Structure 1
Amino acid sequence: MKTQTRHTRRWPASLAVIAVLILQLLVPTQVNALPRWLMPALGLLLLLPLIWTNPFHLRRDEPWLRWVALVLVAVLVAVNAYYLAGMIFLLNHGDANQGVVLVKSALLIWVTNVVAFAVWFWEIDRGGPFARAPEHERDAERPDLMFPQMTVDLPGWKGWLPGFTDYLYVSFTNATAFSPTDTMPLSVRAKTLMGIESAIALLTVAVVAARAINVL
């Protein structure tokens, strides 16, 4: 009987990026001086070749696809930082009664921050998802993140590999606690990304806190 090869799923990461692009359409114009459709269109343009070549699972491995994926997450983070700058400017120079706009913008920026860095962690850890996938004949690089499952020998967890949900959880807890929680960064690039994500999340929360202090 022929054993079926299990392929690593790509669709959760693609779905998360699509959700972020939709959220960008909701960013208030008060913090975004550019056309509302411009940033989502740029992100979609970069996402399309990734979906076209690997719509559901990681089957086709091309060096240029990895670069497209890394450029995509870099663009998402850069655009989000631009929105954050616009929100800070609005806080200092906008109408004092625009609290709803600030809170809405902060929520969208925070969620985008979590998803974008989750995809980034997913794309770099051990050389990327193709390098981690057991069905591909590639040697994975040394881990960038140390998950708890990698440090203990528990029944049923032998040969465990992180999926996109695990990286999403890492990104969520890092943005919430402004520091690593159960998963530790090992490489310089992982520490750098975690530091940037925490800084964006902290500034986003600080803007809302400053607005609340002004109201009180």
Structure 2
Amino acid sequence: MGSEQAGPAHPGEPRLPAAVGVLVAIVLYAVLPSTLQIGPRFVVPGLELLLFIPLVLANPRRMSRENRLLRQLSIALLLLIALSNTAALVLLIRSLVNGEATAGGQLLAAAGQVWLTNVLVFALAYWELDRGGPVTRFRVARPGLPDADFRFPQDEDHDTISEVARRSSAKSGWVPGFIDYLYVSVTNSSAFSPTDTMPLTARAKMLMAVESVSALMLSILVVSFAIGLLGP
């Protein structure tokens, strides 16, 4: 999950993992039941694709180019995915509270879609924010990187046994990529708390707290209700 030495000569983080994450999030929303969507089915996914296409065209293979417009487009895309999924979560809970939910299997599937999209949203948020974002992390040499939002195990493994220390940030130049932030998001949504990666800044702590609470709400209020509907 690591990378080579970060610095000006590095070609940049591969675009594919984050691009796949974005596309999966868009598809998951597009196939949600219409009662959990805002407006016509393909309006929000269409807007997300319109924001996503120029980002891919600017960095089709590697995250090597960045300017203010690209940064704003990237944040706008993230916010749109996050807001649409939050609305789906609210509508899902409202259907339970109002007694509108009758198809347990469909509800359980929708809850899984919302949970997985939530994982992807926060993975993308961590990826966009930590240490200046994906372009800065790989293209700027230490110690010029902005302050870290997260402390990974590799950031403190330099004084362990040699085969572990070789992969540390200090000795190999390792910096986190999208898969690393996806793992952080999955574990935070599953354990409802940080595991091996610790938040360092207020914004990182708030993001992880919101993710944990939303995952807990899905687990308790949605999944348990859906299983009850599936029972005899």
TM-score, with structure 2 as normaliser: 0.85
Is the contact made by 2:51 and 2:74 (CA closer than 8 Å) also made in structure 1? yes
Please tell me the residue identity of whatever aligns with 1:106.
A
Query: Within the alignment, does 1:69 sit opposite 2:74 as a pair?
Result: yes
RMSD: 2.0
Query: Within the alignment, does 1:212 sit opposite 2:209 as a pair?
Result: no
Match of 1:29 in 2: 34
Q: 1:108 aligns with which of 113, 122, 134?
A: 113
Distance change >3 Å, CA 95–CA 58, structure 1 → 2: closer
Distance in 1, matches of 2:144 and 2:80, equals 28
Point out where structure 1 has 5 or more consecutive residues left out of the alignment. none
Determine helix, strand or coil for the equivalent of 1:133.
helix
Distance change >3 Å, CA 53–CA 137, structure 1 → 2: farther
> Mean alpha-carbon deviation: is it higher for 29-38 or for 66-75?
29-38
Distance in 2, matches of 1:43 and 1:52, equals 15
Match of 1:198 in 2: 212
Distance in 2, matches of 1:81 and 1:119, equals 15
**C-alpha displacement of 1:106:** 0.4
**C-alpha displacement of 1:10:** 2.0
**C-alpha displacement of 1:50:** 0.6
Query: Within the alignment, does 1:79 sit opposite 2:84 as a pair?
Result: yes
In the TM superposition, what are the counterparts of 1:165-180 in structure 2 within 5 Å? 165-180=179-194
Is the contact made by 1:31 and 1:90 (CA closer than 8 Å) also made in structure 2? no
Distance in 2, matches of 1:140 and 1:5, equals 14
Larger RCO: Structure 1 or Structure 2 (Cα < 8 Å, ≥ 6 residues apart)? 2
Is the contact made by 1:24 and 1:108 (CA closer than 8 Å) also made in structure 2? yes
**C-alpha displacement of 1:96:** 5.1
Distance in 2, matches of 1:30 and 1:142, equals 42
Query: Within the alignment, does 1:186 sit opposite 2:200 as a pair?
Result: yes
Distance in 1, matches of 2:101 and 2:52, equals 38
Please tell me the residue identity of whatever aligns with 1:105.
A
Distance in 1, matches of 2:212 and 2:63, equals 30
Please tell me the residue identity of whatever aligns with 1:146.
R
What's the CA shift string for 1:4-49, capped at 9, x where partnerless?
A: 8532212211121011111111101232252111111111111111
Distance change >3 Å, CA 130–CA 182, structure 1 → 2: same
> Mean alpha-carbon deviation: is it higher for 18-27 or for 86-95?
86-95
In the alignment of these two chains, the number of paired residues is 213
What's the CA shift string for 1:100-144, capped at 9, x where partnerless?
A: 221011000001001111111000001111221146799321100
Please tell me the residue identity of whatever aligns with 1:160.
W
Distance in 1, matches of 2:217 and 2:189, equals 11
> Mean alpha-carbon deviation: is it higher for 164-173 or for 130-139?
130-139
> Mean alpha-carbon deviation: is it higher for 156-165 or for 113-122?
156-165
> Mean alpha-carbon deviation: is it higher for 106-115 or for 57-66?
57-66
Match of 2:161 in 1: none
Query: Within the alignment, does 1:13 sit opposite 2:18 as a pair?
Result: yes
Please tell me the residue identity of whatever aligns with 1:13.
A
Please tell me the residue identity of whatever aligns with 2:201.
S
Distance in 2, matches of 1:186 and 1:149, equals 15
Determine helix, strand or coil for the equivalent of 1:27.
coil
